[in-house]
Amino acid sequence: QQQIKLQGYTLVPLQLYFKQGRVKVELGLCKGKKLYDKRADAAARDAKRDIDRAIKTRR
């Protein structure tokens, strides 16, 4: 519980299932991405989008 209160940590549901008529959720504690990771992912996503557009227009 203390780590959840620290800034930058988040509880993320990993798995959801039923057991004996109840819903069970497995939780994971994770830390968010750094700014440079977000930029790299955005650049890769934009590049893939441009490639897909180019391929689509050539057909």
What is the per-residue pLDDT for 47?
Answer: 96
Residue 14 in contact with residue 7, Cβ under 8 Å? no
Q: Which of 31, 1, 34, 27 is nearest to 12 (CA)?
A: 27
pTM: 0.47
pLDDT digits (tens, 9 = 90+) for 7-24: 778 889 999 999 999 999
Phi and psi, residue 56, nearest 5°? -65, -40
Check whether 2 has a pLDDT greater than 70: no
User: Domain coordinates of the chain in residue numbers?
Assistant: 2-58
